[in-house]
Amino acid sequence: MQAKIDAFMEEVRARNAHEPEFLQAVQEVAETVIPYIATKEIYNGKNILLRMVEPERAIMFRVPWVDDKGEIHVNRGYRIQMNSAIGPYKGGLRFHPSVNLSILKFLAFEQVFKNSLTTLPMGGGKGGSDFDPKGKSDDEIMRFCHSFMSELYRHIGPNTDIPAGDIGVGGREIGFLFGMYRKMRNEFTGVLTGKGITWGGSLIRPEATGYGTVYFAENMLETKGDSFDGKVVVISGSGNVAQYAAEKSMQEGAKVVTLSDSSGYVYDKDGIDADKLAFVMELKNERRGRISEYVNKYPSAEFHKGKTPWEVKCDIALPCATQNELNGDDAKTLVANGCICVSEGANMPSTHEAIAVFHKAKIFFAPGKASNAGGVATSGLEMTQNSLRYKWTREEVDEKLRQIMKEIHSACLEYGTDNDGYVDYVRGANIAGFVKVADAMIAQGVI
């Protein structure tokens, strides 16, 4: 079996040699899905995984924009339309200087499996730009978003491809992007999700990824009769996903002791309560400040510059910042300190080595494609409401989100339970996500 996996990876590596993040994501899937394919006659001779690792379409374009001083800048825009076998492409836009083809292809590839897991009819895509929103004025952000959409609009649509937010793209950016799309097309459609509540957005969409990450962790803990109540939770990041993962953890009775950004992490031994979280939301979302400012306001907390929070003793860890932010050594520290559950809010935050450590220790580990799927699932619910020209209440959307997370968890159990009862959620998520897309591709022929 290993020889088959190695031969497959060799072929993928030859074609995508300079794309380490993409190769990492493919490897993780190949290791669990290829042994499964080998046991199913229906996939025999179909080269299905090889077809799935090649994007249906990859679009790259120039994004010129003018700053407040009148200087002209040029960034690169992308949209990877990975797979539309089960529905229109769906996936976020990321604005961050690290954005390149490898990172977007890894995200688009993961998105295909994640969207399949949500039970909703959505294909996978991802896009963005190497534009850095940090330190830019609102006007500069608007000009950039308008320029970006003045090209992207040709390639997307409510039945073709429906982008959403991701790192660096929140409600403000979605507004500017939507405005330009509406102008270029002269139509008001649900072409983006994460929209404002008064113009087509869904209640609970901002909260959904963070809440869903906690719901998924609760589902895992429940299998052993456990819960969040009284647990110490360590969270990385302080953006959209981290904020709402913190909020829900608190609501479920846990004590959240860390948040972070790319400069370091804050440790608050007394716990981050609702007031302190409101301060963080205002700091990060309105003032666009740094997490280190938390200790100016709450001097009993500590700021650890340049470090990640995995050295803090905890019961539950929720990585909610970015890819590869938790390595093998971090995983060993978490396990040694008694951590029993890791639920990924970010995409691929744990390295291959870290996942191996969690599996060896037989603690609960949920890969992002399962545990953070609540965001895109609620985007799917936003699309449904847009199509119906209707609006569900907060409680209705939250209930649907909880139900979807439960179903994703059950799908993982179906394909990921080992003989000794331990659940390999990576295998479970990969196979459950694969089956639906692969079966649709087979039904539709070689296209």
Going from the C-alpha of 86 to that of each of 19, 79, 119, 124, 374, the distances in angstroms are: 26, 19, 10, 9, 18
Query: Helix 101-117 and helix 374-388: axis angle, to 10°?
Result: 70
- Build a one-symbol-per-residue string for 327-366: x at contacts with ligand NDP by CB under 6 A, - elsewhere: ------------------xxx-------------------
**Closer by beta carbon to ligand NDP, 125 or else 165:** 165
To the nearest whole angstrom, how small is the minimum distance from the Cβ of residue 192 to ligand NDP?
13
- Build a one-symbol-per-residue string for 298-327: x at contacts with ligand NDP by CB under 6 A, - elsewhere: ----------------------xxx--x--
To the nearest whole angstrom, how small is the minimum distance from the Cβ of residue 128 to ligand NDP?
10
Residues 441/48, Cβ–Cβ less than 8 Å: yes
Query: Helix 20-37 and helix 2-15: axis angle, to 10°?
Result: 150
Q: What is the DSSP string of 314-366?
A: -SEEEE-S-TT-B-HHHHHHHHHTT--EEE-SSSS-B-HHHHHHHHHHT-EEE
Instruction: Using CB under 6 A, pick the residue from 87, 127, 165, 433 that binds ligand NDP.
Output: 165
**Closer by beta carbon to ligand NDP, 87 or else 309:** 309
To the nearest whole angstrom, how small is the minimum distance from the Cβ of residue 193 to ligand NDP?
9
Length of the chain counted residue by residue: 447
Q: Which amino acid is at 322?
A: T
To the nearest whole angstrom, how small is the minimum distance from the Cβ of residue 258 to ligand NDP?
12
**Closer by beta carbon to ligand NDP, 346 or else 437:** 346
Ramachandran assignment for 187, one of left (phi > 0), alpha (psi -120 to 50 degrees), beta (any other): beta
Tokens of 126: 């991802």
Asked if 24 interacts with ligand NDP (CB under 6 A), we say: no
**Closer by beta carbon to ligand NDP, 55 or else 345:** 345
To the nearest whole angstrom, how small is the minimum distance from the Cβ of residue 361 to ligand NDP?
24
Which residues fall within 8 angstroms of residue 161, CB to CB, at 6 or more apart?
Answer: 79, 81, 88, 89, 90, 125, 155
As a whole number of angstroms, the distance between CA 366 and CA 372 comes to 9
Residues 310/335, Cβ–Cβ less than 8 Å: no
Give the interface segment with ligand NDP, choosing from 32-40, 72-80, 159-167, 355-363 (CB under 6 A): 159-167
Tokens of 118: 């949500």
To the nearest whole angstrom, how small is the minimum distance from the Cβ of residue 261 to ligand NDP?
3
Residues from 248 through 277 that contact ligand NDP (CB under 6 A): 261-263
**Closer by beta carbon to ligand NDP, 37 or else 257:** 257
Residues 216/405, Cβ–Cβ less than 8 Å: yes
Which residues fall within 8 angstroms of residue 21, CB to CB, at 6 or more apart?
Answer: 102, 103, 105, 106, 323, 324, 348
Task: Tell me the sheet residues that pair with 259.
Answer: 266
As a whole number of angstroms, the distance between CA 24 and CA 106 comes to 8
Instruction: Using CB under 6 A, pick the residue from 166, 218, 268, 382 that binds ligand NDP.
Output: 166
As a whole number of angstroms, the distance between CA 60 and CA 64 comes to 13
Give the interface segment with ligand NDP, choosing from 58-66, 163-171, 329-337, 438-446 (CB under 6 A): 163-171
- Build a one-symbol-per-residue string for 207-246: x at contacts with ligand NDP by CB under 6 A, - elsewhere: --x---------------------------xxxxxx----
To the nearest whole angstrom, how small is the minimum distance from the Cβ of residue 210 to ligand NDP?
8
Please tell me the count of residues contacting ligand NDP according to CB under 6 A: 24
Asked if 168 interacts with ligand NDP (CB under 6 A), we say: yes
As a whole number of angstroms, the distance between CA 161 and CA 174 comes to 15
Output the residue with the shortest Cβ distance to ligand NDP: 239
To the nearest whole angstrom, how small is the minimum distance from the Cβ of residue 2 to ligand NDP?
30
Q: Is 110 helix (H, G, I), strand (E, B) or coil?
A: helix
Query: What is the residue whose two structure tokens read 């590839």?
Result: 109
Which residues does the annotation mark as catalytic?
126
- Build a one-symbol-per-residue string for 367-386: x at contacts with ligand NDP by CB under 6 A, - elsewhere: -----x--x-----------
Strands of 89-95's sheet, edge to edge? 57-66, 72-83, 124-129, 89-95, 161-164
To the nearest whole angstrom, how small is the minimum distance from the Cβ of residue 380 to ligand NDP?
12
Instruction: Provide the binding-site residues for ligand NDP, judged by CB under 6 A.
Output: 165-168, 170, 209, 237-242, 261-263, 320-322, 325, 345-347, 372, 375
